[in-house]
Amino acid sequence: MKLVHRFPVFKSILAAFALLVVQLRAAVAEPLSFSTGQTVSVPSYSHIFVGNRLKTFDLTTSLAIRNSDPETPITVTRVDYFDASGRFVRAMMKTPLVIRPVSTLVYVIDESDKTGGVGASFLVS
C-alpha cells in the first residue's frame, strides 16, 4: 500500500503546507513600506481607584514618545491633551520636534493637575 492511501489526511496536510510556503514567499518578497505619518490616541491616567472605588490615588501623568528606529529620526508635529469627555485641554508643544534614533520625548503632567480626569488622553501626530 502506498503511504498516501494509508493516510488520507496526508494529502490535506501536504496541500496546506504548500499553500503556507507560497504565502510566506509572497510576504517576504513584498518590500517594506514605512509610515509617512499617523495620529495615535494614547490613554493617560491622572489617578487610580483604590479599594471599592470610593477613594482615589493621584498620579503624575507621563507620556513617553519613543523612536525605536536605530537609524532614522522621526518628527512629532502634534501632542495635544484631552480630558475624559474629549474636550481639548492644551497643546503640549508649539513647534514640531525631531526625535533622534532610539531616543525618547517625554511630557509630564503634574500630580496636582486634575484637568484631564481619569479618562484623559493625548493625540500624537
Between CA 120 and CA 43 the distance in angstroms is 6
pLDDT of residue 28: 60
What is the pTM (predicted TM-score) of this model? 0.69
> Are the beta carbons of 43 and 86 closer than 8 angstroms?
no
The answer on 45 and 20 residing in a single domain is no
Between CA 47 and CA 60 the distance in angstroms is 8
Between CA 28 and CA 26 the distance in angstroms is 5
The answer on 44 and 95 residing in a single domain is yes
Nearest to 75 by CA among 91, 41, 94, 99: 99
CA quadruple 32, 37, 39, 45: dihedral, nearest 10? 80
The answer on 52 and 23 residing in a single domain is no
Measured in residues, the chain has a length of: 125
For the segment 19-43, the average pLDDT, to the nearest whole number, is 72
pLDDT of residue 15: 64
Between CA 20 and CA 24 the distance in angstroms is 6
The answer on 29 and 49 residing in a single domain is no
Distance separating the N- and C-terminal Cα atoms of the chain: 65
Q: Tell the residue number behind the cell numbers 509630564, with chain if given.
A: 108
Collect all residues with Cβ–Cβ distance below 8 Å to 106 and sequence separation of at least 6: 62, 63, 64, 65
The answer on 106 and 75 residing in a single domain is yes
Please give the residue range of the domain that contains residue 102: 40-124
Domain count, the chain: 2
Confidence of residue 118 (pLDDT cuts 50, 70, 90): confident
The answer on 112 and 88 residing in a single domain is yes
